[in-house]
Amino acid sequence: MHPRQQDKTAVLLQADSFPKSAHAPLRPLRSIFKEKPGKRRLLIGIPAALGACLGFGAVAWADDEAVFKTAKQYTVKVRTQVSVPFSGDKKGAWIGAGFLVDKDRGWIVTNAHVATRSHSVVRVAFHDGEYVPVRKVFVDPYVDLAVLELPEQARHPAMAGAQLDCRSVPDVGHPVGAFGHPWRLHFTGTRGIVSGRTAKYEGMIEMIQADAPMDPGNSGGPLVSLKTGKVVGINTARRRNSQGTNFAVPISQACRVLDLLRANADPSPPDLPVSFLHDPEEPRKLVVAKVHEDEPTLGLREGDVIVGIAGEEMKIANRGHLLHALRGRGKSVQLRVQRGGEEAVVPVELKPAARMTERRGVQASGMLLAPFPHRGLGGILRKRSSLVVHDVEGGSEAQSEYVDGMDVLVSVDGAEVDTMDDLYGRLKGAAGRKVLFKFIRLDPLNPDLFSYTEARLPIADLRWIGPSQ
């Protein structure tokens, strides 16, 4: 395998805090293949043999075979290349999975961490097909979800789109199959049951928990009901040191995005200027931890528990529920909150989050500077336009001066910089000489603690990443 080609796995970020929680127990899948193959076969074989002897587990095999045969028709390989990564992504190339959801429009659903939230080259291939380039239609900034589009010449009437279960989430014990390309074993199926639902990880976005084995290359593939044959989730991640604790984004999140796209509406989630209280055990309610001073939201206060939307029955218990409910709502909404033991209705102004497909950055001297897409950082990012270091290239001038990822830009030659255009203009005017950058560096163990650092860098290789205007 080429050193830059590796199977892509979940990128797990807290949406309202940085750095990642030290106790976050989800491990990148690429680093866990340590068991001996013989031992793995033995462990898998014993339960299968017991099932055969005791007479259970055989009833659904014929149906399972048909479900996986159909999944092979709508599942694709997704090959991604990133040369300049934004925060949360990495430089390199990898293979993940995806599945066709709208054959007329050529839309394919996958994980955001497979397609990436950076500018990347993405190609897909169906079973026994050639790779073709695709366009990113939508990449969600919070939910691990992306929609890709096949070029018109690559679509044909014989394509089979997946059937999606948009109305329900399967209960514990429901049989499911995970389909994808684990360890580059392409178009492979595994089976198990739904083990539960949790919003403990992924920034309090609700996930389906299942014991159907998932490995590198499964990310972005379908989690399919073995009762109905419909897709119920998007395979996303697994827990550290556990093959039986895996996670998938509920397909209802994708269904809402697809419906809005078909209606030519913006499916972006709202950029609420609030942070939420994170319960390390298990989020059971959505509590406002902080209302940011730069853009006060009408009505909401610290300590409010968001429970729903006025006039609607849907209960909101986590951030994923809230994002799902607020997509496509327009500029304002009335939320039901619990405040001081009583329920109140408060107005909230909505602004769509920045589009990941349109994000911009300035690269110079081996570092990439751009706005940070989420709020928080211990109160350091008081302005939405604050710029941070997203990437430092190995062997660059920036690395030699100890610039670090997630350093927050304070000034350039003593002058504050408020916009990307301002930054680019100042650096362009400084070509051929050294520039003094001042940064704030967060304590990795406590984002409320920080220090100031400086780096004097010769400006070289200045360029825009993404659209220049």
Compute the distance between CA of residue 144 and CA of residue 235 in angstroms, rounded to an integer.
10
Q: Which residue, among 4, 6, 13, has the nearest Cα to 29 in the 3D structure?
A: 6
Compute the distance between CA of residue 124 and CA of residue 397 in angstroms, rounded to an integer.
36
User: Are the CB atoms for 299 and 347 separated by under 8 Å?
Assistant: yes
Run of H or E including 138: strand 135-139
Judged on CB neighbours under 10 Å (0-12, 13-18, 19+), 91 is middle
Q: CA-based angle 77:256:94, to the nearest 5?
A: 20
3 state DSSP class of 231: strand
Sign of the CA dihedral running 402, 403, 408, 413: positive
Q: What is the CA radius of gyration of the chain?
A: 23
In the residue annotation, 448 being an active-site residue is answered as no
In the residue annotation, 113 being an active-site residue is answered as yes
Compute the distance between CA of residue 440 and CA of residue 383 in angstroms, rounded to an integer.
14
Choosing from 89, 113, 118, 174, the catalytic residue is 113
SS3 content of the chain, % helix, strand, coil (to 5): 20, 35, 50
Q: What is the DSSP string of 378-408?
A: GGT--STT-EEEEEE-TTSHHHHTT--TTPE
Q: Where are the beta strands (DSSP E) in 330-445?
A: 332-339, 342-349, 361-364, 367-371, 387-392, 408-412, 434-443
Sign of the CA dihedral running 53, 229, 33, 27: negative
In the residue annotation, 321 being an active-site residue is answered as no
Compute the distance between CA of residue 233 and CA of residue 174 in angstroms, rounded to an integer.
13
Q: Where are the beta strands (DSSP E) in 21-131?
A: 75-82, 92-102, 107-110, 121-126
Choosing from 7, 102, 140, 144, the catalytic residue is 144
The amino acid occupying position 59 is V
- Taking the CA of residue 469 as centre, how many other CA atoms within 13 Å lie in the half-sphere pointing to its CB? 0
Judged on CB neighbours under 10 Å (0-12, 13-18, 19+), 214 is buried
Would you please indicate which residues are annotated as catalytic (active-site) residues?
113, 144, 219
